[in-house]
Chain A
Amino acid sequence: MDPDRPLLISLDAPGIPDDQIVGGKAAKLAHLMRAGFPVPRGFCLTTWAYEAFVIDARIIPAIRMELGRKSMDDMRWEEIWDAALRIRSTFLTQPLSGLLQTTVAEGLQLFNSSTRLAVRSSAVGEDSAGHSFAGLHESVVGVRGTRAVEDAVRLVWASLWSDAALLYRQELGLDPARSRMAVVVQEMVDADRSGVAFARDPRDLRRDHAIIEAVPGPCRLLVDGLVDPDRWVLDRATQGVVSWLPGQREDSDQAPLLQSEDLQHILQTLLSIEQLFGWAPDMEWTGRADSLTVLQARPVATVMPDDDAKRSWYLTLRPGDARLKALRQRIAGQLIPELAAAGEAFASEQLDQLDNQQLADAIEQRSQALVKWKKIYWDEFIPFAHGVRRLATYYNDVVTPEDPYEFVGLLRDQPLLATQRNSVISQLAQQLKSNPAVRAAVEELLTSQTHALPWSSFRDALLQRGGGAEEFVHTFDEFQERFLDVTFDHERLREHAGPLLRNLVELSRYSDPPEDHRVSPSHASATLEEKLLVAVGSERRAEAIDMIETGRVSWRLRDDDNLLVSRLDSQCLRALGVAATRLRELGRLTGDGHLDDSYLARLVCGLREPATAVITVEDSTKSDVSQSSVRPQGETPRQLIGQPASPGIATGVVRCISGRDDLGKFRRGEILVCDAIQPTMTHLVPLAGGIIERRGGMLIHGAIIARELGIPCVNGVRDVTKILKNGDLVTLDGHLGIVTVGAADFDLEIGGVH
């Protein structure tokens, strides 16, 4: 080992370690230890160790590949998460060199083999005064044994490139060539009281107050937000208690968790640390009074330095395991049934029989329900979607598969509403296929009509033609009831059966079940489940089963919740439609424009107050975003890059889907180009030769469905809906994530310069 580049430094080694070598956390801990503060024993794997690992395992080019695929400013959060997952996988699948293994073993000589250890990040520059990046990097607690420590160290190193860290890449100055991460390995000390203490109130640093928070048990219960703490505000000058707020805990007897002497000891420790470092600390601690142990100290930061509200919101989308489980129980057990029941109740209401006042009430009730459920969607459903991502990291940490998306097999065959919907669509297409007379009648009606017929009129016309259309009509009626009560592009699909009927005719021409390109049997759900349970061992079996369940429910519900909220939206539009018809008949509403919820207040007012002015529904022609090209003049796109979201290669002509009418134009074999596949348009996927989406992510709808059906898919292609036009010939390569525009037979420069 090069003595100028030590790979390991003991926390109690003489001299003050350099922040650049041991990172912020370890430097402060070593400093505290040297000053006589009680700090758990441990050692630090220096930034030289990180460097040795990434150079030896040649990880830097892999990080560059991930982060250079497209401008990070153009990446959605899901894409950043994907990049972080692949980087993490690269770290986890590379072994430590012999030298690094020896170094870890040397450090572990400090402890017994049974000692429970905490392996924590110590990034260079983190926790500097005024800035705190707490929570961006990982810590692994309860680690025992050499192999487990090595795994935990790799995981902590990888967290230098976590999704959260990548969001703050500019503030952190992340650079694959220069950024380094040290790791602290310490004995775990968990007393019956732990907590966090601030030498100054983070909400207002000018006040002469200190804050102490305490929970029963280990500190991580508080840091992870799993237990509500008791909270004291103390006067720094008099050291007296200004206020005490008991934590809201089950079985809490409301007696304060800390006594006066405990509080005094913690405050004294805070003030001594402040004196030592010259800044007011935020300290994690465990133990009481004389047995107090300092787990960590860093400068109090007021808030995460952030001018981007969206970014801080992303960070809330990563709930901890306990919160995920609580969300699962609440969402699956209570919210989804309630949401389904609300939609059902609205759908069964006979709006025609209501008087104007009652109809106005019904509109407002639907609107309020929609607002309420959209809030729940953002506050609870979206964070719960993290359950799938959590399953990914859990599976990858334990199994370390070569393919970081192997875990997706665990989600296979979940009973999604969208899957059930597609299966009825398949059945309808089969019915048309087996009855050519009905298909011909449907086609004729679709061709002859100049205006879109509502299904009710269409079905009557179809039944009049005879030919045994009853079965098809019956199935379609049920289908309408069950699945089409949703909105697409702000319109009720139920009122526009035309596009779907066109899709059915198209599907019926080729309605052999799609060829099963599914992944090999070794990836089947049960096999992967067994693989995970074996790898995790009997001690953590229950935890793993729970994690799989959370992931599956999260995956299933993220799809269903979209459709169920969309049904409320549809029911809101239905009530507005009834109101509009009624007011139109009374001559109090004119105009042929599209009726949306921006007319809600005026329609309600019109129903309630007969004297109100005539309402005019403006004809607001929607701009066709997909066709507003961003191709600079004279420039032809040749190869676009995105994520390889579903393997395979396909050549075909582009069909951009941006509005409801585009759905009906889709023809088999075309390349579906869209912003993102929505749950209400998944039935197009079996018709598509391939899929290209602007929105990126390996776990988004389109990617998963395409993989299920074995259809090539490239997503995360910047501006693709603007760059590609209907009729463009493209070849998409779902193995490599590239889209080639133009004929496969390249133009060669033959015949001189044109």
Chain B
Amino acid sequence: MRALRWHGKHDIRCDNHVPDPTIEDGRDAIIKVSSCAICGSDLHLYDGFMPGMQHGDIVGHEFMGEVMEVGKDNKKLKVGDRVVVPFTIVCGECDQCRRGNFSVCERTNRNKDIADKVFGHTTAGLYGYTHLTGGYAGGQAEYVRVPYADVGPVVIPDGLTDDQVLFLGDILPTGWQAAAQCDIQPTDTVAIWGAGPVGQFAIRSAVLMGAEQVICIDNVPERLSMARAGGAITINFDEESVIHRLQELTRGKGPEKCIDAVGMESHAARSIDSMYDRAKQALFMETDRPHVLREMIYVCRPAGILSIPGVYGGLLDKIPFGAAMNKGLTFRMGQTHVNRWTDDLLNRIQDGQIDPTFVITHKVSLEEGPDMYKVFREKHDGCIKVVLKP
């Protein structure tokens, strides 16, 4: 089969003659991928920021398709079902799954020992996202083996297109969870850093959840225009001071809720702390660039909530924790517990309350995937979300 494989930093290739996946366990299923997408967190792999990738790993964790084969113990799926596969692999039986904390499933990470050592405890297995999370083959391919396929995959009813439901596997519930973690009240201002796909869905979620005012911070005009379309007031950090503008919009009080939809590769390149982070990164003294996190802590209203869907990978420096503690801020973060939200969000899509296709700007073949990684990374050609058709 054909698949996008990681061969090193900035080196993802569409390889032919990759071995087809096979059923390895009775609960497995094999999916023929009809649509997959490049996620912002795939760029962390592309840029070489995430440790634990190996030459030849198949990437991609946003995918859907048709069930081609099911294991003997899998009673949920049948051949021919159309499914969206959440990026977290969940067993549905461990203590964390039973509490709804699917992204920290205790059983699905095949390399639990490594994760235990690095993070203290294991997290769920993920598709195409380093050997720290199990080293599972990803979904930017023609076929994928889906382990624990009797739990995670969401069966899609007839009448919905791939484009409408593909993002149920990651970015739509990620934006939704980011807003849900904010306990949004009708008087709240929610400030969202990053107008990428997750930021866009966080904006729509915050509006649906009733925030009085939603503000989005970015510097890419196309992304800001999409943010405004969804109901956000926008701040272009190239053109105005984020802190002053947020103070102005909140009568000096600061936003009650802040969402970091940027994560470890903050690009506020001209701020002093960003230059400091880049210098430390170059000297291998820091792994992540947490400019957004610092800004959120500074500007958030005391007793506010910081919600962090943006991915961080390692060690962060100069976090103003004194300010966070004394202001009484609440931090909520984590990989998305996708299966918590999928049924509800699928209903909302069916009801027409939200149409996730608005975020798609590029739809290309799998062969064009490696080039689209570059376009997406550089934000060229108005690129916000790339869908690949294997």
- A interacts with B: no
Q: Which residues of B are interface residues toward A (Cβ below 8 A)?
A: none
Residues of A at under 8 Å CB distance from B?
none
